[in-house]
Chains A and B, each alone.
Chain A
């Protein structure tokens, strides 16, 4: 495992938001809210287009953070938070940037918190995600 200093940031990565990807994600969770599937229902509810379920944004990965190398196995997702701005809808282009914002060690466990900010094609903030990942390996000196 290699961990860069706090503040290390990825290059931006853009994702095209496909309507099929939103629908498949909603189906995989058994969701029934019509604006997750249907453009007309979404527009009636005040969205520009089919809207992504709140946790869909976890699929909009950032590019690799330079210097961050985690083991392939033994990672645990400890905490997750999302703050939402302008809703993510079908046909948006969402550009994400990930930053390592916190590193803590407790015994053999290392807690890494990565913030991922997503903004849309109009440069409006769509979401800020914070993921805390627990790795079971000591940081190399």
Chain B
């Protein structure tokens, strides 16, 4: 059986990236300093890949509430997420068996055809 999770829609702000830098300890300046980002050929600051991946946690929180725990999570970072852009994270659930689900995830950014992130999360419960 396949069903969809409620998508996560989030506009990535500079405050998000500063807060994530502090919380994660990843202070690479391309995530908060436009001048440095431009030196690397970017138009401005971009989100940490791990910030985008972390946002996927919001998508699967309803499964955590149902008693599932993440057993395995794998994803590729396929394009950059620029600040002040809206990211949409979609997930489709595939029941592997009664206590195992696999969620296929795709994160897209407004105005970009190539996804920012694709992957899958396997969750289990009662084990």
Q: Which residues of A contact B (CB under 8 A)?
A: 21, 24-25, 27-33, 35, 45, 53-55, 58-59, 61, 73-74, 76-84, 87
Given the complex, which residues of B lie within 8 Å of A74, measured CB to CB? Answer: 40
Chain A CB within 8 A of B27 CB: no
Whether the Cβ atoms of B71 and A55 lie closer than 8 Å is: no
Whether the Cβ atoms of B75 and A81 lie closer than 8 Å is: yes
Contact with A along B58-78 (1 / 0, CB 8 A): 100100110101111111110
- Whole-angstrom distance between the alpha carbons of A81 and B72 in the complex? 7
| Complex A-B: 27 CB contacts under 8 Å | A24-B23, A25-B23, A25-B24, A27-B23, A28-B22, A28-B24, A28-B54, A29-B55, A30-B55, A31-B61, A32-B61, A33-B61, A33-B65, A45-B67, A54-B70, A55-B73, A59-B23, A61-B25, A78-B76, A78-B77, A79-B74, A79-B75, A80-B49, A80-B77, A81-B72, A81-B75, A82-B72
- Whole-angstrom distance between the alpha carbons of A24 and B22 in the complex? 9
Whether the Cβ atoms of B73 and A81 lie closer than 8 Å is: yes
Given the complex, which residues of B lie within 8 Å of A76, measured CB to CB? Answer: 77
- Whole-angstrom distance between the alpha carbons of A113 and B60 in the complex? 27
Chain A CB within 8 A of B57 CB: yes
Given the complex, which residues of A lie within 8 Å of B20, measured CB to CB? Answer: 28-29
**B63-112 residues at the A interface, CB under 8 angstroms:** 64-65, 67, 69-77
Q: Which residue of B lies closest to A35 (CB)?
A: B64
- Whole-angstrom distance between the alpha carbons of A87 and B72 in the complex? 12
- How many chain B residues sit at the interface, stated as a range, is 20 to 34
Interface SS of A by simple majority: mixed
Chain A CB within 8 A of B19 CB: yes
Minimum distance in angstroms from B89 CB to a CB of chain A: 12
Whether the Cβ atoms of A73 and B22 lie closer than 8 Å is: no
Given the complex, which residues of B lie within 8 Å of A83, measured CB to CB? Answer: 71-72
A-B complex: 8 closest residue pairs judged by Cβ atoms: A81-B74, A28-B23, A77-B49, A29-B54, A28-B19, A24-B23, A25-B23, A54-B70
- Whole-angstrom distance between the alpha carbons of A110 and B102 in the complex? 31
Given the complex, which residues of B lie within 8 Å of A55, measured CB to CB? Answer: 50, 53-54, 57, 73
Whether the Cβ atoms of B73 and A82 lie closer than 8 Å is: yes
Q: Which residue of B lies closest to A60 (CB)?
A: B25
Q: Which residue of A lies closest to B125 (CB)?
A: A46
- Whole-angstrom distance between the alpha carbons of A45 and B126 in the complex? 11
Partner of B70, one of A61, A73, A78, A84: A84
Q: A29-B20, A59-B25 are in contact. List 9 more A-B contacts (CB 8 A).
A: A25-B23, A27-B23, A30-B10, A32-B58, A54-B73, A55-B54, A80-B53, A83-B71, A87-B69
